[in-house]
Amino acid sequence: MAEYDIAVIGGDRRTAFMIPFFQENGYRVISFGIQETENEKTEAAALHKMASCQVKPDGRANSLKEALDSADVIVGGIPLEKEGVLEIRELSRLIRKRHTIFGGVIPESFRQECSERDILCCDFMLVEGIAVFNAVATAEGAVLEALRHKDTNIHKSESLVIGYGRCGKILSDKLKGLSACVTICSNSRIELAVADAYGFRTLPLEQLESKAGEFEYIYNTAPALLLTEGLLEKIREDALIIDIASGSGGVDYMAAKRLGKAALRCPGLPGKYAGRTSAKCLTDYVLRHL
């Protein structure tokens, strides 16, 4: 029998907050590689105090191997792979058939390997309910980043949202609720038609460079390098770019720095601003599948 029930590894505030939630439900938890600030540690401790049942102290592993050897259920962060803490190659070497793995943005090659080895591997971001929840938290975080890094109102601002997928739709709606003048940019005629139906201004992607100078706030949700040096030269000097796209984002950051344009790469916003609520959503999903 394993010493612990669940190993929580890597991640951000979301995984840190999952530990007390698991413990409240009677699970023994060991953790590894969760980097918390002092404020995060204080907030996590507050969760312990609010628990309706006695919370057991969690274990802290000295290595990834120790954590995986100590529990059959592995819960990682979003994304699952974290440089310096959890590398897919090492995880592949250490996991065994007895393990069940949860995490986000898991490489398809690793999920395929797990399937071939009869290891259950669940990607949080392939669950529609979690993906939508994550998009809501990301959108709220993007608005907060905009307010923190610019001394103007979002109200009546000329705001451009690039991409009208799950996150782009929710972000656009949040901005509209703040009375921003929102324009949707996409290379999909269907997305532009839907955006128009919901009352947004629309801009075909091929016209972006000619119109880029009209916007004070630019939110990129498209995981492709669209904000190139040529396009960055056209945007306003006082414009703020908030890049919330997955992967490496959609901005030429070296060019932005060289041109003196404000561009923020904002990954992991749900963990930064909604760690506790996100953790509850993820924990509930894991508990339903144990």
Q: How far apart are CA 182 and CA 174, in angstroms?
A: 10
What CATH number did the domain enclosing 93 receive?
3.40.50.720
pLDDT above 90 covers what percent of the chain?
86
- 3-class SS at 288? helix
Backbone φ, ψ for residue 99 (5° rounding): -80, 150
pLDDT above 70 covers what percent of the chain?
91
Of 84, 125, 119, whose CA–CA distance to 103 is shortest? 125
What's the pLDDT score for residue 50? Answer: 44
Do 63 and 34 lie in a common domain?
A: yes
What's the pLDDT score for residue 84? Answer: 80
- Quick one: the chain helix, strand, coil %, rounded to 5? 45, 20, 35
For residue 197, what are the domain limits?
131-271
Predicted confidence band of residue 55 (pLDDT cuts 50, 70, 90): very low
What's the pLDDT score for residue 37? Answer: 43
The pLDDT of residue 47 is above 60: no
Other Cβ atoms closer than 10 A to 181: 19
Do 161 and 212 lie in a common domain?
A: yes
Domain count, the chain: 2
Take residue 150 and report the two structure tokens written for it: 């610019």
264 falls within a domain: yes
